[in-house]
Chains A and B, each alone.
Chain A
Amino acid sequence: MNLEVNLGGIKLKNPVTVASGTFGYGREYSEFYDLGEIGAICTKGTSLRPKTGNKAPRVCETSSGMLNAIGLENKGLEYFAEFDLPFLKKFDTKIIVNTFGSTVEDYVEACRFLNKLDIDGVEINLSCPNVKAGCMAFGNTYEGVKEVTEKCRRVIDKPLIVKLTPNVTDITQTAKAVEDAGADGVSLINTLMGMKIDIDKRRPVLANNTGGLSGPAIKPVAVRMVYQVAQKVKIPILGLGGIVSGDDAIEFMLAGASAISIGSGNFIDPYVAPKTVKGIEDYMKKYNISDVNDIIGKVEMN
């Protein structure tokens, strides 16, 4: 049975990766299983310089999901290179570093820095709804996405993936911009902007008022968007949004994702990623499929 897939030049031993911001730099979950069991790790979003986060509460539960407004808190790329990368290198899995900035120059500088590191790919996050002004502006339009992606592309020889926000009118437009700018892959979706109100206090639960919605609640939206983008671009898609099982993963792959990522699902079941690999294998056995690539994009419309 072949589980290997190619995500824009990153050869993954299986299509299961873990999503940025939901797996840290791997340390905590490595106490539960060998990280070599999964295809790749997308690191916590790490910017060139350290960045502080929002006030608490930063997270809250919602129906079949959660809201977060962490505020992209991180210790910066230098710290990552010195302390987190050596740890991640111990495992037989691919390392995709997720990064972001608040200006185009920040993105380019971060990519320049990352290009020198011993990593397998870079994922630029053009979709951070929690940060005021900031990158939201780039992620919303064809022109914005194209500009940042092109400039990052110029300084990166490694596989470059662009992560898109679903908080747009037409995600196929921004996905097309990623392809036109020469990136190797596109990942979607990031969180959907949401809000929860405490009716006793008559105030939003999150200190930031709004936050990004993730978890099974957003899965149908994500699957639909992956399908639409797959019709529009040829570069591989990393699909995510609410995946908690092999069956969920298969849905994304049928819709057109070459690989998938598990985010908030890690919080409820630390073993969800290896279980998802197993679930994909079970599906392949059930339908006598020998190569996982034969599932990608194979949904048939009614």
Chain B
Amino acid sequence: MPVNVKAKLVKKEALKKDVFKFSVKAKEIVDISKPGHFIEIRVSDQVEPFLRRPISIYNMDKENGILEFIFQVKGKGTDILSQKQVGDEVDIIGPLGNGKFDYSKYQNLAIIGGGIGVFPLYELAKEAKEDGKNVTTYLGFRNKDFVLLEDEFKNVSDELVLATDDGSYGKNGFAINFLKEDIEKGKIDSIYACGPLPMLRAVKKLAEETGIPAQVSLEEKMGCGMGVCLGCAVKTASSPKDSPSYVYVCKTGPVFDSTFVEF
């Protein structure tokens, strides 16, 4: 049941150069959103740029009806968005997607994210911890300059493992290697991932090798964002190559069991 709101920007924060955190008043959306949901933002009321931009929900303050999202300026859409000022309205449709990081059956959660893929994992870690789960979070960044949200994730995790590819901050190497070690120690019973494709593929492989189930949040280019245009197709793993069967990132996903889809 997505809704379209003009949400007032109540707080704007630059986390680093070209990465912004927006807090908007969007009670209608917050009331019905769950970890894994995303929103679509129309950055201009003109027809250029044309399409809405998909952005994950980072954090929700349910009591005050505040929705927070974080985005990196990539191209013209996010650039225009970044110029909004406190008091301006943001045209948002949400919640979208299945909102289904589903951890109810598990106790020892590994939450793993890389780069700008870490944003949708915060609300997940927060809610899982509130529900009494054991949350270990693994965050990977390219180097020290890219590290984001360390304290925030620390507060919602029982343990935070932070790694950089070049070792310039935190542990040295890919975050997934540390997850692997913990799985071998028997500390983990399920994995929740969002981040760059190579990382997600590594998670998929790790899940296959260890038998630990993994849920991944995927990205794809979108038209409508709500299951109408069939633009954001991803092939199901079980369907044959010559007659592929598709599901949709915006509707069936963005969170999928890693064995369900091909990516």
Q: Which residues of A come within 8 Å of B, CB atoms?
A: 21-24, 28-29, 31-32, 52-66, 68, 70, 73, 205, 215-216, 244, 264, 266-271
Known: A52-B246, A216-B50, A268-B51. A28 touches B226 (CB 8 A): yes
Known: A64-B47, A66-B50. A271 touches B4 (CB 8 A): yes
Interface residues in B1-43 by Cβ distance below 8 A to A read 1-2, 4, 42
> Is residue B233 within 8 Å, beta carbon to beta carbon, of the partner chain?
yes
Closest chain B residue, CB of each to CB of A244: B47
Closest chain A residue, CB of each to CB of B49: A61
Closest chain B residue, CB of each to CB of A23: B228
Contacts of B93 in A (CB 8 A): 270
Instruction: Evaluate contact between B233 and A266: CB separation under 8 angstroms.
Output: no
Instruction: Evaluate contact between A267 and B228: CB separation under 8 angstroms.
Output: yes
> Is residue B244 within 8 Å, beta carbon to beta carbon, of the partner chain?
yes
Instruction: Evaluate contact between A56 and B233: CB separation under 8 angstroms.
Output: yes
How far does the Cβ of B77 sit from chain A's closest Cβ, in whole Å?
A: 8
Known: A32-B4, A65-B50. A267 touches B229 (CB 8 A): yes
Instruction: Evaluate contact between A60 and B221: CB separation under 8 angstroms.
Output: yes
> Is residue B225 within 8 Å, beta carbon to beta carbon, of the partner chain?
yes
Instruction: Evaluate contact between A31 and B50: CB separation under 8 angstroms.
Output: no
Contacts of A73 in B (CB 8 A): 230, 233, 246
Q: Please indicate which of the listed interface residues B4, B49, B231 has the most CB atoms of chain A within 10 Å of its own CB.
A: B231
Mind listing 12 A-B residue pairs with CB under 8 Å?
A: A21-B229, A31-B1, A52-B244, A55-B233, A57-B220, A58-B221, A64-B47, A65-B50, A66-B50, A68-B223, A244-B47, A267-B225
Instruction: Evaluate contact between A59 and B223: CB separation under 8 angstroms.
Output: yes
Q: Please indicate which of the listed interface residues B52, B245, B246 has the most CB atoms of chain A within 10 Å of its own CB.
A: B246
Q: How far is the CA of A205 from the CA of B93 in the complex (A)?
A: 26
Instruction: Evaluate contact between A68 and B2: CB separation under 8 angstroms.
Output: no
Q: How far is the CA of A124 from the CA of B159 in the complex (A)?
A: 59
Q: How far is the CA of A29 from the CA of B228 in the complex (A)?
A: 9
Instruction: Evaluate contact between A61 and B51: CB separation under 8 angstroms.
Output: yes
Contacts of B51 in A (CB 8 A): 61, 66, 267-268
How far does the Cβ of B141 sit from chain A's closest Cβ, in whole Å?
A: 22
Closest chain A residue, CB of each to CB of B249: A56
Closest chain A residue, CB of each to CB of B1: A31
A73-B246, A216-B50 known; 17 new pairs, CB 8 Å cut-off, are: A22-B224, A22-B229, A28-B227, A52-B243, A54-B233, A55-B235, A56-B221, A58-B230, A58-B232, A58-B233, A59-B222, A61-B50, A66-B50, A66-B51, A205-B221, A269-B42, A271-B4
Q: How far is the CA of A56 from the CA of B246 in the complex (A)?
A: 10
Instruction: Evaluate contact between B42 and A268: CB separation under 8 angstroms.
Output: yes
Closest chain A residue, CB of each to CB of B244: A52
Instruction: Evaluate contact between A53 and B52: CB separation under 8 angstroms.
Output: no
How far does the Cβ of A168 sit from chain B's closest Cβ, in whole Å?
A: 25
Contacts of B245 in A (CB 8 A): 52
Instruction: Evaluate contact between A267 and B223: CB separation under 8 angstroms.
Output: yes
Contacts of A244 in B (CB 8 A): 47
The 4 closest A-B pairs by CB, nearest first: A59-B231, A59-B223, A57-B221, A24-B228
Instruction: Evaluate contact between A267 and B246: CB separation under 8 angstroms.
Output: no
Closest chain B residue, CB of each to CB of A206: B221
